[in-house]
């Protein structure tokens, strides 16, 4: 049962468990789904604006949590955007936060952020669903995982101009307290930072997709630290005056969202080229069978955008993406479908 915070009572601490469709619970019909994405993000990324794109992408999570007074709602960071769910009484907070971050992105970052809002009922009418599970990545940090195809459908509708939130008359600044990009990019230790998206096709059974996802994860899990992109050693803060102890750093690494389920697998990993080639072969075969679509992007570094809620600094969250275009470039390849194979070697 989902409570008023959109939380099922159980949080799963092992990622493979959230690949099981049975652990997901439906959100109530009257809940709201908000979605943001940076328009032409790949253009901004090609001109080196990775951090701005990620900051704009994560901004609605910070703005909404600060306005709502709690980060206890389901959300997912997607690199050049984010998605969230909120109970119906959050409609003013959601609308206002979406308008504010769109204004902020345009005025401060020179980026166009598309923002949309709709109800779970509208998604269900289309034949899709929104179900969530909670993944406790560490003792202090829990991320929501989404399934049912509803977010994917809603994002497509918003890109087509439906459910858009119109700009407000009065532009107020979003409260982005706690959102920062304090760390230098993280170089790959094993060869390449991989950004990977894998989505089931509409007719693929959840069981078939879960089995495939487990095969893919088994390849990455065999590596040290499950191919975690943040090294076990200390990272470098941009502000060289800041000191971070080993314990503090290990908590940052533990609280990061390097593996997610968001109507499909969404991974940021540090891999050997052989691991990536092996997984790409598994996925290309599954795509040829008509089970999935996928996109991947290889780059030299990972980027981290951090959210430290002022009310509960222990539950700090760290959003990861690849620095060479990451999820946005992987999504571009996925949209190109079979054409993605041609670009594979044009790194």
What does the pLDDT profile of the chain (347 residues) look like in tens digits?
Answer: 566 555 556 899 999 999 999 999 999 999 999 999 999 999 999 999 999 999 999 999 999 999 999 999 999 999 999 999 999 999 999 999 999 999 999 999 999 999 999 999 999 999 999 999 999 999 999 999 999 999 999 999 999 999 999 998 887 999 999 999 989 999 999 999 999 999 999 899 999 999 999 999 999 999 999 999 998 777 778 876 677 788 889 899 999 999 999 999 999 999 999 999 999 999 999 999 999 999 999 999 999 999 999 888 888 999 999 999 999 999 999 999 745 444 444 44
Please check whether residue 91 lies inside any domain of the structure: yes
pLDDT of 347: 44
* Cα(218)–Cα(197) distance, integer angstroms: 16
Residue 142: give its domain's CATH number. Answer: 3.30.70.1230
Please check whether residue 176 lies inside any domain of the structure: no
Residues 110 and 212 both lie in one domain: no
Residues 130 and 256 both lie in one domain: no
CA dihedral over 328, 275, 136, 124, signed as positive or negative: positive
Q: For residue 217, what are its two tokens?
A: 């994860």
Residues 279 and 243 both lie in one domain: yes
Q: Of 144, 160, 176, which residue sits at a domain end?
A: 160
Residues 287 and 206 both lie in one domain: yes
pLDDT of 346: 46
Residues 328 and 285 both lie in one domain: yes
Please check whether residue 303 lies inside any domain of the structure: yes
Residues 6+ apart with CB under 8 A from 218: none
pLDDT of 68: 93
Please check whether residue 171 lies inside any domain of the structure: no
Residues 190 and 338 both lie in one domain: yes
Residues 122 and 235 both lie in one domain: no
pLDDT of 1: 53
Structurally, the chain folds into a number of domains equal to 2
Please check whether residue 93 lies inside any domain of the structure: yes
Residues 148 and 190 both lie in one domain: no
Residues 265 and 334 both lie in one domain: yes
Please check whether residue 151 lies inside any domain of the structure: yes
Please check whether residue 3 lies inside any domain of the structure: no
Mapping DSSP to helix (H, G, I), strand (E, B) and coil, where does residue 181 land? coil
pLDDT of 311: 83
Domain that holds residue 309: 186-346
Residues 116 and 222 both lie in one domain: no
Other CB atoms within 10 A of residue 188 CB: 21
Please check whether residue 168 lies inside any domain of the structure: no
Taking a C-beta distance cutoff of 8 angstroms, is the pair 115, 154 a contact? no
Residues 293 and 342 both lie in one domain: yes
Residues 53 and 122 both lie in one domain: yes
DSSP string for 289-336: TTSEEEEEEEESEEEEEEE--SS-GGG-EEEEEETTSHHHHHHHHHHH
DSSP string for 240-281: TT----HHHHHHHHHTB-SEEEBSSEEEEEEE-HHHHHHHHH
Residues 6+ apart with CB under 8 A from 51: 181, 303, 305
């Amino acid at each position: 049962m989902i409570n008023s915070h959109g939380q099922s009572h159980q949080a799963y601490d092992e990622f493979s468990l959230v690949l099981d469709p049975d652990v997901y619970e439906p959100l109530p019909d009257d809940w709201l789904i908000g979605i943001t994405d940076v328009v032409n993000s790949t253009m901004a990324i090609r001109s080196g604006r990775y951090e701005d794109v990620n900051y704009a992408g994560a901004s609605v999570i910070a703005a909404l949590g600060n306005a709502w007074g709690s980060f206890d709602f389901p959300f997912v960071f997607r690199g050049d955007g984010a998605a969230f769910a909120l109970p119906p009484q959050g409609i003013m907070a959601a609308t206002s936060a979406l308008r504010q971050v769109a204004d902020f992105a345009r005025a401060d970052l020179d980026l166009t952020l598309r923002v949309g809002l709709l109800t779970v009922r509208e998604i269900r009418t289309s034949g899709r669903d929104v179900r969530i599970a909670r993944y406790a990545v560490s003792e202090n940090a829990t991320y929501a995982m989404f399934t049912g195809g509803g977010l994917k459908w809603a994002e497509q509708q918003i890109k087509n101009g439906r459910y858009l939130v119109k700009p407000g008359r009065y532009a107020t600044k979003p409260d982005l307290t706690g959102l920062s990009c304090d760390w230098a990019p993280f170089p790959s230790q094993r060869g390449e930072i991989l950004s990977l998206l894998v989505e089931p096709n509409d007719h693929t059974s959840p069981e078939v997709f879960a089995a495939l996802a487990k095969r893919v994860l088994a390849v990455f899990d065999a590596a040290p630290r499950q191919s975690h992109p943040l090294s076990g050693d200390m990272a470098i803060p941009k502000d060289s005056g800041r000191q971070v102890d080993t314990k503090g750093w290990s908590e940052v690494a533990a609280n990061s969202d390097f593996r997610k389920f968001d109507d499909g697998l969404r991974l940021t990993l540090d891999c050997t080229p052989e691991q990536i080639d092996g997984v790409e072969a598994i996925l290309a075969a599954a795509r040829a069978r008509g089970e999935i679509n996928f996109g991947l992007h290889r780059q030299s570094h990972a980027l981290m955008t951090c959210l430290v809620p002022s009310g509960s600094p222990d539950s700090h969250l760290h959003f990861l993406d690849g620095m060479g275009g990451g999820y946005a470039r992987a999504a571009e390849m996925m949209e190109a479908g079979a054409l993605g194979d041609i670009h594979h070697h044009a790194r």
